[in-house]
């Protein structure tokens, strides 16, 4: 089963009107290339839909039409597609909440052929569900906040950037993405930039009520060579300096600047909060990258600057979680090294709420300027993390991976063994004082929500 959900600042009726118009499904779900009703929409109605597959002609010619197997106006809708030796079920449930609706989507492939159709259909239908729900919101409304922000997101095509953009659009704010490569699969305005110099793109900062979210930077999962460390640093510092220069005199209201808890390198048993001093010099690929990254945003002209030191974000699209899940499924989910290194983490939904707090749009949370540690209040040690993953993935105890073996494996995977062998006990004192409450404070609950 692939389950996802998202808040949309629209009433259930508005969303239902688009959801139940099944012939509009391709307009907000890119995996569906066409959909045609054979009957009026009701329980038992038949729908001919075509997935975006190379062998779509096979489906078009031989597949039976999908049927509406659940129909509860303004509450729930399900389509069931009979597959050879199995079924695939698409289901949407609308949960009215204060200020709008939570839309829950599940995609399930069952039966003897379930694993095959899970890979072929279900996973692809469920991919980037946040953006699909944003398209649904735009068709049904679009939503409008009482005082909408215009949020410019640098690095908005990455996994977290897409999450932020979809979340803000569904809440009624405007989004523009700065990107090196325009993507056809995103429904938001995109403006090209080189991530290094000020150019015509700076005009996106002229709109009133503008905020900036800076997530730009290369992925850190690479060998810690001098060349790679320099590239990691330049991708962050150059982009930030260009943004800072472009924003001068623009009247930017809010600025959320990405950083990382890895700025403390390997903190051992030190418990890190916003006031904890940085190591000197620290590891080059951690402190050596993050310190100049933060310093390059210090002169940003804005009414409010939040420097977000983010821990590992647990999400279905998280590269870190995908690797840990992969080795655990392969019965290799033992502790890394001695297993005592701290693992600080945050669930995606909580991270999005912290970002909204930095933008000043999270109700009941009043953040002051400065550094904020985006980490759940209960870090765990690596041995406990791997044990929790084994429980949720139903795997038996596994042998540990000694540090030398991990180092050799990292060479083969062109990764950095320090990502697994170092750790930090990082928590925030600022968030609780500002009135922030975590929806997922404990690892078990977060993993259950993601994996069970």
Domain ranges for the chain? 2-140, 150-451
Burial of 333 (0-12, 13-18, 19+ CB in 10 A): buried
| Per-residue pLDDT, 189 | 97
| Per-residue pLDDT, 164 | 97
| Per-residue pLDDT, 275 | 97
| Per-residue pLDDT, 54 | 87
The ranges of the chain with pLDDT < 70 are none
Contact between 80 and 107 (Cβ < 8 Å)? no
Out of 3.30.530.20, 3.30.300.160, 2.20.25.240, 3.60.15.10, select the CATH number for domain 2-140.
3.30.530.20
DSSP state at residue 332: -
Whose CA is closest to 261, among 312, 323, 318?
A: 312
Please list, residue by residue across 31-47, b when 16 or more beta carbons sit within 10 angstroms of its beta carbon and e when fewer do: bbeebebeeeeeeebeb
Whose CA is closest to 309, among 268, 272, 269, 349?
A: 272
CATH entry 3.40.50.720 includes domain 150-451: yes
Q: What is the C-alpha to C-alpha distance for residues 302 and 51, in angstroms, rounded to an integer?
A: 46
| Per-residue pLDDT, 413 | 73
């Amino acid at each position: 089963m692939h389950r996802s959900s998202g808040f949309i600042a629209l009433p259930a009726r508005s969303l239902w009107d688009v959801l139940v118009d099944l012939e509009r499904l391709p307009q907000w779900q890119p995996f569906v290339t066409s959909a045609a009703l054979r009957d009026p929409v009701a329980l038992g109605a038949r729908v001919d839909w075509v997935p975006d597959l190379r062998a779509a002609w096979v489906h078009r010619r031989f597949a039976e039409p999908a049927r509406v197997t659940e129909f509860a106006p303004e509450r729930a809708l399900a389509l069931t597609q009979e597959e050879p030796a199995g079924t695939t079920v698409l289901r949407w449930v609308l949960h009215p909440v204060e200020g709008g609706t939570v839309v829950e989507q599940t995609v399930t492939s069952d039966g003897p052929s379930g694993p095959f159709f899970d890979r072929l259909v279900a996973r692809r239908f469920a991919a980037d569900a946040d953006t699909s729900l944003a398209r649904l919101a735009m068709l049904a409304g679009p939503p409008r906040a009482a005082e909408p922000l215009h949020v410019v997101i640098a690095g908005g095509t990455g996994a977290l950037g897409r999450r932020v953009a979809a979340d803000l659009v569904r809440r009624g704010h405007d989004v523009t993405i700065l990107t090196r490569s325009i993507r056809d699969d995103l429904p938001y305005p995109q403006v090209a930039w080189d991530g290094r110099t000020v150019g015509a793109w700076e005009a996106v900062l002229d709109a009133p009520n503008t905020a900036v979210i800076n997530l730009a930077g290369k992925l850190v999962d690479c060998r810690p060579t001098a060349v790679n460390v320099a590239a990691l640093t330049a991708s962050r510092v150059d982009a930030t300096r260009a943004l800072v220069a472009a924003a001068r005199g623009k009247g930017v209201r809010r600025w959320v600047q990405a950083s990382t808890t890895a700025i403390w390198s390997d903190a051992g048993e030190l418990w890190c909060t916003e006031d904890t001093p940085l190591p000197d010099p620290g590891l080059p690929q951690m402190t050596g990258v993050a310190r100049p990254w933060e310093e390059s945003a210090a002169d940003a002209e804005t009414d409010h600057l939040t420097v977000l030191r983010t821990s590992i974000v647990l999400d279905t699209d998280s590269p870190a979680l995908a690797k840990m899940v992969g080795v655990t499924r392969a019965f290799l989910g033992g502790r890394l090294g001695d297993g005592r290194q701290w693992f600080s983490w945050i669930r995606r939904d909580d991270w999005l709420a912290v970002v909204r707090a930095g933008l000043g749009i999270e109700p009941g949370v009043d953040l002051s300027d400065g550094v904020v540690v985006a980490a759940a209040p209960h870090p765990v040690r690596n041995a406990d993390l791997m044990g929790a993953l084994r429980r949720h993935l139903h795997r038996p105890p596994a042998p540990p991976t000694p540090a030398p073996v991990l180092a050799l494996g990292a060479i083969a995977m062109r990764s950095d063994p320090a990502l697994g062998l170092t750790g930090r006990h990082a928590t925030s004192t600022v968030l609780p004082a500002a009135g922030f409450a975590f929806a997922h404070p404990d690892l078990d609950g977060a993993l259950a929500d993601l994996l069970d």
